[in-house]
C-alpha cells in the first residue's frame, strides 16, 4: 500500500514505537481523554467482549453518506435539544437511555418540540454520550444486515456493551473483531476503502499486519489507509481533521502556514491527492480552513444524514461561513446546516463535536448502486461505451427492470437515457452511451429503483456532479450494414430474414430488438439470443415472423408499413416491414361458430361482420334464405335489405322459433346472400318450443322452379312478396292479400333470385328460384 510518511517521520515513529513498547507498564494518559480519576487507574478494556469468527459471507461496511433509516444518540444529551428536533424531522431517532432516565428524556424532547413519532427509546445503561466511538458498526453480510463489535478503547463496560444491545434490538448477528478501536478513528467509503490514523496500530501492539487482516475479514476494508495524526492532539481521531464526503471526495482541515502543525496537514492532503479512490482516480480533496490555536473550529466533525449535513460551528463567523461554503461546493444538492452549541457543559470542542456524539443507523432495505468501473479521463475511441453496474436491493424486492438507467449528456446537451440489461453475472447490468463524436465531453450517472420504492444514483449528486470523461478524437469508419433493409410480407404466417454485417473497427452490441406489435411481427425462436455481440467483420441473420395478424387502423396505399427496431451500441437502427393490406381481407364472416341453437322463446342472434380489414371494401347483404323443407324460424334483421356493410361493421340477425315439425331438435340452414358470396348459418331449434307458438298452416309454394318466364308464388297467408338478385338489387316488390301471385321474369337475366314472402303476422320467409 502506498504510504505517505516521510523518512524522518518513519524514523521518529519507529523510535516512539520502541520506546512505547518498552514502557508498556505505564499508561499513556493522553490517549485516555475524558477519563475519570477512577478510569485513569483502570487499564482493563473490553471485559465483556466476545470474539467470534469473521462473517462467512462477504462483508460491506456501509458509509456515512449512504441511505440511513435513523440516527443514534444518547440521553443525557451531548448535543443541543434543537438538534434533536432537526434530526427527528430528517429520519428516526434511536435514543439510548437507562430506564430511570427515560421519563426525563421524554419530557425534554416533548418540551423542545421533537416529533415523538420519530423517536424510539432503547433502554440500556451507558457511561458517556460519545456514541460515535462505542456505537455499533453496521455491515451487510452479503444481503443481510449485521453488526461488528470491537474492543472499545476506553474502560467503560456499559458503553462497550451497546453494540450487543442493538444486535438484540434488531435481532441481527454480531461478530466480535478482536481489535481495540474507536468509531471516531474510522471512516469508510462503502466500497471497501477505509481510513484511520496510526492510533489503531499503536493500540494493537504495533501489529499492523494483524490490524489490516482483521479489518479486511470482518469489515471488508481493503485497502486500509493508515495515516499520521496531523492534529497531534491527545485524541488522535480521524474525524477531528478529515472526513469522507463521497467515495471519491475527502474533506481535510487546513491550518495557517504559521502554525507548527501546518506541514502535517499538507502531508495528509498530498497523500490523498495522489492516492486513487475506489473508482480508480485520485481523491478530490476539499480543504476547510481552521484558524488554529484555541479558536473553536470543529468543521470536519460533522454528521452526514441522508441529504443533509449538520456542521458544528465555531467561534469565528468568517471561518464558519467559509466552512459551510466548502461543504456546499463539495456536496451540491445537499442541505448544509450549521449547528451551534452554546451549552457550557456540553459545548463543542475542536477534538469533540457533533460527529462524536451521533451515529447513523444504515437503512437495512437500501438499494445499493455499485458502478465500480467508473469511466473517466480520455477514452480510446469506440462506437459505444458500456456502463456496467451492480444493483443490490437489500429489501429483497425485485428491481424495476425499466428503471435501471444510464443518464448521459454529450457536450453539455440535454440528458438522454440508456436502459440497462443483464450481463449474465449476478446483479450486474449494462447500458450503452452512444451518439457522441470524437472529442466529445460526456457526463453521466447511473440510476436504479426497486419495487420497495427505494431509489439511488451514482454519484449521489446525479447531474449536479456526475461522472465525466472525454472521447478521443476520431474519424468515423464503417457502419452496421443491414441487408435487406425492407421486408415484404404478402401472406399470413410469412417469414422473412435480414442480415447484419459489422463493417466498423469495433464490436457492436445488439442489446434489444423490438418487433412492431401493431402488425404482430415477432422473432423466430431460433434467432440468436439477445444481447448479441457482433464482432468487427462478422455477420448475423435474424428471421422475422408475421404471425396471426391484429387489425391496425386504415392507411392509404397497397401496404401497411411496420418496422423492426434494433437497439445497438452505436445507436438505433430500423428494418422496414411492408405488409400487403389484403392479407387481412376475410370477407363476410360469422362472429363465433356457424352453429346456432334456439333454446327458448326469446330466441337468439347471429352476428355477421365485414372482415375486409385490409382493403376496407364494403359488402352488400342482399337477402337471406331459409333452406329447410319446412319453415321453423322467424328472423328479424337489424337493417332492411339490401344493406351495405362497411369494413369491420357488424350485422345482427335475431332468430325465433316459428312452427312445429317432427321431434327433438329441428335443423335448418340460413343462407346469407351478399356481394361476397353465400354464407351459411346452421340453426337447431328445440322441438319443445315448436308446439308453444302459433302455427303457420299453409305451405309456401313457388313453381315452376326453374322458371323460363312466368312463375307463381302461392301461400294462404301472404301480405308481401319481394325478389332480389344476388348482387342485392330488388327486381320485384308487391303487396298483396291474394293466395297466389304470378311474376313475369321473362326480361330478367338468367341466374338465381331470392324470393322473400312476408305473412300477415309479419314473419318473413325466403326461398330461392332459378330463372333460365
Q: What is the pLDDT of residues 690-737, one digit of tens each?
A: 443 333 334 678 888 888 889 999 887 788 898 877 555 788 999 988
Residue range 82-98, pLDDT digits in tens? 999 999 999 999 999 99
Q: Which H or E run contains 12?
A: helix 7-22
- Cα–Cα distance between 154 and 44 in angstroms, integer? 8
What pLDDT score does 661 carry?
A: 40
Contact between 139 and 220 under an 8 Å Cβ cutoff? The reply is yes
- What is the reported pLDDT for 593? 61
Tell which residue, 523, 531, 504, has the closest CA to residue 420.
531
What's the pLDDT band for 264 if we cut at 50, 70, 90? Answer: very high
Q: What is the mean pLDDT of the chain?
A: 86
| pLDDT band of 355, cuts 50, 70, 90 | very high
Q: Are 250 and 272 in contact (CB under 8 A)?
A: yes
Using CA atoms, how far apart are residues 580 and 561, in angstroms rounded to an integer?
9
Residue pair 195/244 in contact (Cβ under 8 Å)? The answer is: yes
H-helix or E-strand spanning residue 38 = helix 37-40
Q: Which of 276-290, 537-551, 728-742 has the highest mean pLDDT?
A: 276-290
Residues classed as catalytic = 356
| Model confidence band, residue 519 (pLDDT cutoffs 50, 70, 90) | confident
Query: 542 falls in which pLDDT band (50, 70, 90)?
Result: very high
pLDDT of residue 696: 38
pLDDT of 210 strictly over 90? yes
Q: Grid coordinates 322452379 are at which residue? A: 705
What pLDDT score was predicted for residue 450? 96
> Is pLDDT above 90 for 110?
yes
Q: Which residues pair with 242 in a beta bridge?
A: 252
Grid cell, residue 385, equals 461505451
Give whichever of 446-450, 504-508, 635-639, 642-646 has the largest mean pLDDT.
Answer: 446-450
Spatial separation of the C-alpha atoms in residues 5 and 15, rounded to whole Å: 14
Q: In whole angstroms, what is the distance from residue 500 CA to residue 575 CA?
A: 11
Q: Which residue in 634, 629, 689, 625 sits closest to 660, CA to CA?
A: 689
Q: 552: pLDDT confidence band, cut at 50, 70 and 90?
A: very low
Mean pLDDT of 658-672: 62
- Is 80's pLDDT higher than 70? yes
DSSP structural state of residue 466: -
In the predicted model, is pLDDT for residue 182 greater than 70?
A: yes
What mean pLDDT do residues 186-205 have?
Answer: 96
Binned at pLDDT 50, 70 and 90, residue 755 comes out as confident
Task: Give the closest residue to 722 by CA, choosing from 675, 754, 677.
Answer: 754
The 3-state DSSP composition of the chain as helix, strand, coil percent (nearest 5) reads 20, 40, 40
* Cis ω for the linkage preceding 223 (within 30 of 0): yes
Q: CA dist 453 to 129, 394, 420, Å?
A: 35, 12, 19
Residues facing 150 on adjacent strands: 177
Question: Mapping DSSP to helix (H, G, I), strand (E, B) and coil, where does residue 559 land?
Answer: strand
Amino acid at each position: 500500500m502506498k504510504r505517505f510518511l516521510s523518512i524522518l517521520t518513519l524514523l521518529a515513529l519507529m523510535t516512539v514505537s520502541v520506546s512505547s513498547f518498552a514502557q508498556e507498564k505505564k499508561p499513556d494518559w493522553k490517549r485516555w481523554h475524558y477519563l475519570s480519576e477512577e478510569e485513569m487507574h483502570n487499564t482493563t478494556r473490553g471485559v465483556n467482549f466476545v470474539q467470534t469468527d469473521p462473517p462467512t459471507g462477504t462483508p460491506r461496511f456501509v458509509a456515512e453518506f449512504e441511505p440511513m433509516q435513523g440516527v443514534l444518540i444518547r440521553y443525557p444529551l451531548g448535543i443541543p435539544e434543537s438538534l434533536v428536533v432537526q434530526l427527528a424531522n430528517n429520519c428516526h431517532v434511536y435514543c439510548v437511555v437507562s430506564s430511570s432516565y427515560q421519563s426525563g428524556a421524554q419530557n425534554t424532547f416533548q418540551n423542545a418540540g421533537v416529533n415523538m413519532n420519530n423517536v424510539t427509546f432503547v433502554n440500556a445503561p451507558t457511561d458517556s454520550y460519545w456514541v460515535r466511538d462505542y456505537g455499533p458498526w453496521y455491515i451487510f453480510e452479503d444481503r443481510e444486515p449485521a453488526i461488528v463489535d470491537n474492543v472499545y478503547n476506553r474502560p467503560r463496560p456499559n458503553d462497550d456493551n451497546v453494540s450487543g444491545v442493538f444486535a438484540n434490538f434488531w435481532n441481527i448477528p454480531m461478530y466480535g473483531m478482536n481489535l481495540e478501536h474507536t468509531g471516531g478513528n474510522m471512516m469508510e467509503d462503502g466500497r471497501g476503502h477505509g481510513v484511520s490514523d496510526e492510533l489503531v496500530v499503536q493500540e494493537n501492539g504495533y501489529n499492523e499486519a494483524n490490524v489490516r487482516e482483521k479489518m479486511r475479514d470482518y469489515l471488508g476494508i481493503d485497502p486500509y489507509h493508515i495515516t499520521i495524526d496531523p492534529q497531534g492532539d491527545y485524541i488522535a481521531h480521524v474525524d477531528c481533521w478529515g472526513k469522507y464526503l463521497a467515495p471519491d471526495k475527502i474533506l481535510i482541515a487546513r491550518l495557517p502556514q504559521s502554525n507548527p502543525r501546518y506541514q502535517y496537514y499538507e502531508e495528509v492532503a498530498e497523500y490523498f491527492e495522489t492516492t486513487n479512490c475506489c473508482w480508480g482516480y485520485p481523491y478530490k480533496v476539499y480543504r476547510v480552513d481552521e484558524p488554529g490555536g484555541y479558536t473553536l473550529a470543529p468543521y470536519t466533525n460533522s454528521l452526514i444524514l441522508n441529504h443533509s449535513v449538520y456542521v458544528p460551528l465555531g467561534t469565528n463567523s468568517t471561518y464558519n461561513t467559509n466552512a459551510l461554503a466548502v461543504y456546499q461546493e463539495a456536496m451540491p444538492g445537499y442541505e448544509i446546516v450549521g449547528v451551534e452549541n452554546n451549552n457550557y457543559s456540553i459545548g463543542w470542542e475542536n477534538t469533540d463535536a457533533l460527529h462524536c456524539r451521533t451515529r447513523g443507523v444504515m437503512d437495512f432495505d437500501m438499494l445499493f448502486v455499485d458502478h465500480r468501473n467508473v469511466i473517466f479521463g480520455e477514452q480510446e475511441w469506440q462506437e459505444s461505451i458500456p456502463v456496467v453496474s451492480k444493483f443490490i436491493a437489500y429489501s429483497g424486492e425485485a428491481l424495476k427492470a425499466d428503471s435501471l438507467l444510464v443518464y448521459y449528456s454529450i457536450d453539455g446537451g440535454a440528458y438522454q437515457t440508456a436502459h440497462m440489461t443483464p450481463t449474465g453475472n449476478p446483479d450486474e447490468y449494462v447500458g450503452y452511451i452512444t451518439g457522441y463524436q470524437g472529442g466529445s465531453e460526456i457526463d453521466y450517472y447511473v440510476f436504479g429503483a426497486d419495487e420497495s420504492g427505494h431509489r439511488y444514483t451514482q454519484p449521489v449528486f446525479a447531474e449536479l456532479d456526475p461522472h465525466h470523461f472525454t472521447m478521443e478524437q476520431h474519424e468515423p469508419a464503417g457502419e452496421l450494414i443491414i441487408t435487406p433493409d425492407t421486408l415484404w410480407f404478402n401472406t399470413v404466417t410469412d417469414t422473412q430474414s435480414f442480415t447484419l454485417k459489422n463493417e466498423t473497427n469495433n464490436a457492436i452490441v445488439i442489446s434489444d430488438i423490438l418487433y412492431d406489435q401493431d402488425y404482430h411481427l415477432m422473432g423466430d425462436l431460433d434467432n440468436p439470443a439477445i444481447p448479441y455481440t457482433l464482432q468487427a467483420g462478422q455477420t448475423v441473420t435474424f428471421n422475422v415472423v408475421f404471425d396471426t395478424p391484429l387489425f391496425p387502423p386504415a392507411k392509404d396505399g397497397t401496404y401497411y408499413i411496420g418496422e423492426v427496431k434494433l437497439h445497438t451500441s452505436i445507436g438505433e437502427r430500423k428494418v422496414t416491414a411492408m405488409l400487403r393490406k389484403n392479407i387481412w381481407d376475410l370477407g363476410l364472416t360469422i362472429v363465433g361458430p356457424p352453429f346456432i341453437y334456439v333454446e327458448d322463446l326469446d330466441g337468439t342472434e347471429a352476428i355477421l361482420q365485414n372482415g375486409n380489414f385490409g382493403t376496407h371494401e364494403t359488402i352488400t347483404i342482399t337477402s337471406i334464405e331459409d333452406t329447410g323443407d319446412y319453415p321453423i324460424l322467424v328472423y328479424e334483421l337489424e337493417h332492411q335489405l339490401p344493406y351495405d356493410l362497411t369494413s369491420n361493421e357488424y350485422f345482427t340477425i335475431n332468430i325465433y322459433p316459428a312452427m312445429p315439425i317432427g321431434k327433438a331438435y329441428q335443423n335448418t340452414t340460413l343462407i346469407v346472400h351478399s356481394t361476397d358470396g353465400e354464407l351459411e348459418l346452421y340453426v337447431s331449434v328445440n322441438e319443445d318450443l315448436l308446439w308453444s307458438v302459433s302455427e303457420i298452416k299453409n305451405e309456401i309454394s313457388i313453381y315452376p322452379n326453374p322458371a323460363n318466364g312466368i312463375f307463381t308464388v302461392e301461400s294462404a297467408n301472404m301480405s308481401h312478396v319481394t325478389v332480389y338478385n344476388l348482387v342485392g338489387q330488388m327486381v320485384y316488390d308487391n303487396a298483396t292479400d291474394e293466395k297466389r301471385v304470378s311474376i313475369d321474369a321473362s326480361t330478367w337475366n338468367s341466374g338465381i333470385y331470392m324470393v322473400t314472402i312476408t305473412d300477415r303476422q309479419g314473419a318473413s320467409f325466403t326461398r330461392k328460384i332459378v330463372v333460365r
